[in-house]
Amino acid sequence: MALKPMDKRNGFDSRQALWAAIRRMQTFTLRTLREETVLRLDSVREYVVGLEKAGFIERTHESKRPGDPVVWELRKDVGVEAPRVRKDGTQVTMGDGCKNMWEAMRILRIFTARELAVAASLPECLVKEQTAIDYTYHLCRAGYLKKSGNGYIFLPAAYTGPLAPQIQRTKRVWDPNQQKVRWRSDEEAGNDER
């Protein structure tokens, strides 16, 4: 799927949109799914193949001749959150560290970067202290965290939803819950034409 930074994608998470459409329709073909979501055919196909491999959907009708489309049906509905699967059906693990930190800081409320890294680490996904330092630094700039001594405080009101804010390569903080850029670095802000 497209690897453009989130804020360049018209605030549109294609995986989430496809999943929502599949849950609405229950049975679908690539074509009806594409009509429903207005996405490019290859991104639709990629996600559908991944979902099938992972067992979330099943074919109920095979294509017998050209023009006779394959029909899929939703088999494993896991709720609103779109399964994060790759084309081969395996779990997407990118961003798991940030996801765990975002969740952990809400529970810890008061923490240092090291405490956050420890709390957010699972045997299958370790979070390095440096990663936690970078993440907290950016979230603090973006107003989610308040500095307190050499630690941070997470204010309950700063919680915007289950999706972890992302630090983009362009050094912006993107909040996928609110679908907006929460912070951008000074140089970049200076370059903005106003």
Partner 1 sequence: MKEKGKKTDFTAYTVAPLANVSLCASAVERAMQRPGHLPGMVCMYGPAGWGKSKAATYVSLKHRGYYIQCQETWNGRAILHYILQTMGIPPKQRVWEMAEQACEQLAKSGRPLIVDELDKLVEKKSVELIRDLFEGSGAVILLIGEQGVYDKLKRWERFHRRVLEWVQAVPVDIEDAAHLRRLYHPEVEIAQDLLERITEVSDGSAGRVCLNLAQVAGFAADVGMESVCLKDWGSREFLVGGSRGRRYGA
Q: Tell me which residues touch partner 1 (CB under 8 A).
A: 77-81, 100, 103-104, 106-108, 110, 112, 114-115, 118-124, 126, 148-151, 159, 161-163, 177
Locate the DSSP E strands across the chain. 27-28, 57-61, 71-74, 110-111, 145-148, 151-154, 166-167, 172-175, 180-184
- Judge contact between 21 and 37, C-beta under 8 A: yes
Amino acid at 160: T
Output 26 or 177, the one with its CB closest to partner 1: 177
CB of 82 to partner 1, least distance (A): 11
Output 34 or 85, the one with its CB closest to partner 1: 85
CB neighbourhood size of 157 (10 A): 7
Distance CA 43, CA 46 (A): 5
Output 55 or 162, the one with its CB closest to partner 1: 162
Output 72 or 111, the one with its CB closest to partner 1: 111
Output 58 or 188, the one with its CB closest to partner 1: 58
CB of 20 to partner 1, least distance (A): 12
CB of 143 to partner 1, least distance (A): 18
Output 68 or 81, the one with its CB closest to partner 1: 81
CB of 93 to partner 1, least distance (A): 13
Helices (H) and strands (E) in the chain, counts: 7, 9
Pick from 136, 165, 171: which is nearest to 151 by CA? 136
CB of 181 to partner 1, least distance (A): 19
- Judge contact between 11 and 179, C-beta under 8 A: yes
Pick from 128, 136, 169, 172: which is nearest to 154 by CA? 136
CB of 188 to partner 1, least distance (A): 29
- Helix pair angle (96-108, 113-120), 10° resolution: 120
**What is the DSSP-derived secondary structure letter of residue 149?**
T
